[in-house]
């Protein structure tokens, strides 16, 4: 009886772990088309304030595809989420979900045109 209850509990724990890992391993969802438009607008306005309207650089460095070629997705993602203290690059975690930042990194690599 005791054994089966322990077994039961560990099966539950294992199922929980499988569920958690399948969620984190899932491919990040693309934002809706509506949200993609908002994000592009925001990149031009808000990021553009420092990185230049066309992202060629200003107070912040150029974010054009060729300038980002040697930087990893992870570094870019963390920079956008957490900012780069003590530089003026602010954290954007409050404004974007991680999936949105994944999408933004892809957008920057493709170029906002």
Considering only residues 37, 41, 56, 84, which one is a binding residue for ligand HEC as defined by CB under 6 A?
Answer: 84
Q: How many angstroms separate the CA atoms of 106 and 110, rounded? A: 6
Asked if 64 is part of the footprint of ligand HEC (rule: CB under 6 A), the reply reads: no
Say how many C-beta atoms besides its own lie within 10 A of residue 16's C-beta.
10
| CB closer to ligand HEC, 15 vs 49 | 49
- Assign 88 to helix, strand or coil: coil
For ligand HEC, the binding residues (CB under 6 A) are 43, 46-47, 49-51, 59-61, 63, 71, 76, 79-80, 84, 87-90, 92, 104
């Amino acid at each position: 009886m005791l054994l089966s209850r322990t077994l039961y509990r560990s099966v539950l724990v294992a199922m929980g772990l499988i569920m958690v890992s399948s969620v984190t391993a899932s491919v990040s969802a693309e934002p809706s088309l509506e949200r993609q438009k908002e994000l592009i607008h925001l990149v031009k306005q808000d990021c553009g304030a420092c990185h230049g309207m066309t992202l060629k650089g200003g107070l912040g460095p150029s974010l054009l595809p060729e300038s980002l070629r040697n930087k990893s997705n992870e570094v870019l993602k963390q920079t956008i989420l957490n900012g780069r203290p003590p530089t003026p690059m602010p954290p954007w975690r409050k404004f974007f979900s991680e999936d949105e930042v994944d999408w933004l990194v892809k957008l920057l690599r493709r170029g906002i045109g």
